[in-house]
Amino acid sequence: MYKSFLIDLDGTLYRGEELIQDAPSFLAWLRDEGFSFAILTNNSTRTPQQVAEKLLRMGFYVTAEEIFTSSLATAEYLKTKHAGKRIYPIGEEGLIEALQKAGYSLVDGENPQDVEVVVSGLDREVTYEKLARGALAIRAGAAFIATNGDKALPTERGFLPGAGSLAGLLSITTGVDPTVVGKPSKIIVEMALNRFGFKQKESLIIGDNLHTDILAGKNGGLDTLLLFTGVTTQEEAETSTIRPTYSFSSLTEVRQWLMRKG
């Protein structure tokens, strides 16, 4: 029986600005039943407070402490591999705050030799100069870490360049592939289990995307639950080689299933 859940955000609890109707009551039910959960998102741009505020506005009761972004996962991962090193970040508030709160000294990258780690996330105000500094630092020997590999960012305008596209540009320029922290990497799963004290065998990862959520669960050794409320369609799931442990069409069905399991 599962005791803890790692739950995706976009496509699982909401779609952009649109609430998925049964999601707030699902989380409330988990809480009432004594299950543990954490929200696991690849989005590196927002701080946990900003994510919690959006969820609150939509009718969820979730605290900032229950939210784990790819930026937080990156900061945790850095502690294990690059403790105390000087970091040149390409990213927004969510990344900068996570690195600062973890105690890292951030450098402006003007001198490539000064940079020990380049961390790239989504930066919607990126400039050629920012990317140039990242590329020069990587060429000078800095480690290269990407918060997540999402190539496209779904928006009201359509699919815009994602964090993975910016990391890809640095990768093409330098010939160095980044260590990717976010889903589908097992790193974010391991960091989340560690941070929240969840046990691998008692945890289930829930999400709408076969190629990120479900693959991350598989890579991290967790059972997986695919929801058809977002990116992946039932048709795609049936023909894919990536097989989730479970699949459901709504969180209401998931709740009914968990109740039957007792």
**Which of 229, 178, 155 has its CA nearest to residue 7?**
229
DSSP 18-49: EE-TTHHHHHHHHHHTT-EEEEEE---SS-HH
Smallest gap, in angstroms, from Cβ of residue 217 to Mg ion? 13
* Residue 164 interacting with Mg ion (CB under 5 A): no
* Residue 150 interacting with Mg ion (CB under 5 A): no
Smallest gap, in angstroms, from Cβ of residue 215 to Mg ion? 12
* Residue span binding Mg ion (CB under 5 A) among the ranges 27-35, 43-51, 167-175, 209-217: 209-217
> Is 8 in the active site?
yes
Which two three-digit tokens encode residue 155?
A: 């928006």
Smallest gap, in angstroms, from Cβ of residue 183 to Mg ion? 9
Smallest gap, in angstroms, from Cβ of residue 74 to Mg ion? 19
> Is 10 in the active site?
yes
* Residue 8 interacting with Mg ion (CB under 5 A): yes
How far apart (Å, rounded) are the C-alpha atoms in residues 148 and 70? 7
Q: Phi/psi zone of residue 142: left (φ > 0), alpha (ψ -120 to 50 degrees), beta?
A: beta
* Residue 190 interacting with Mg ion (CB under 5 A): no
* Residue 10 interacting with Mg ion (CB under 5 A): yes
Does residue 183 contact residue 40 with C-beta atoms inside 8 Å?
Answer: yes
3-class SS of residue 85: coil
How far apart (Å, rounded) are the C-alpha atoms in residues 36 and 56? 19
Over the window 11 to 40, marking each residue x when it contacts Mg ion by CB under 5 A and - when it does not, the resulting string is: x-----------------------------
Phi, psi of 163 (to 5 degrees): -55, -40
Over the window 223 to 242, marking each residue x when it contacts Mg ion by CB under 5 A and - when it does not, the resulting string is: -------x------------
* Residue span binding Mg ion (CB under 5 A) among the ranges 4-12, 63-71, 168-176, 233-241: 4-12
**Which of 47, 39, 148 has its CA nearest to residue 93?**
47
How far apart (Å, rounded) are the C-alpha atoms in residues 256 and 261? 9
Among 122, 190, 208, 229, binds Mg ion (CB under 5 A): 208
Helix (H) or strand (E) holding 169: helix 163-174
Which residue is at the shortest CB distance from Mg ion?
Answer: 11
Active-site positions?
Answer: 8, 10
Task: Please give the residue ranges that form the binding site for Mg ion (CB under 5 A).
Answer: 8, 10-11, 208-209, 230
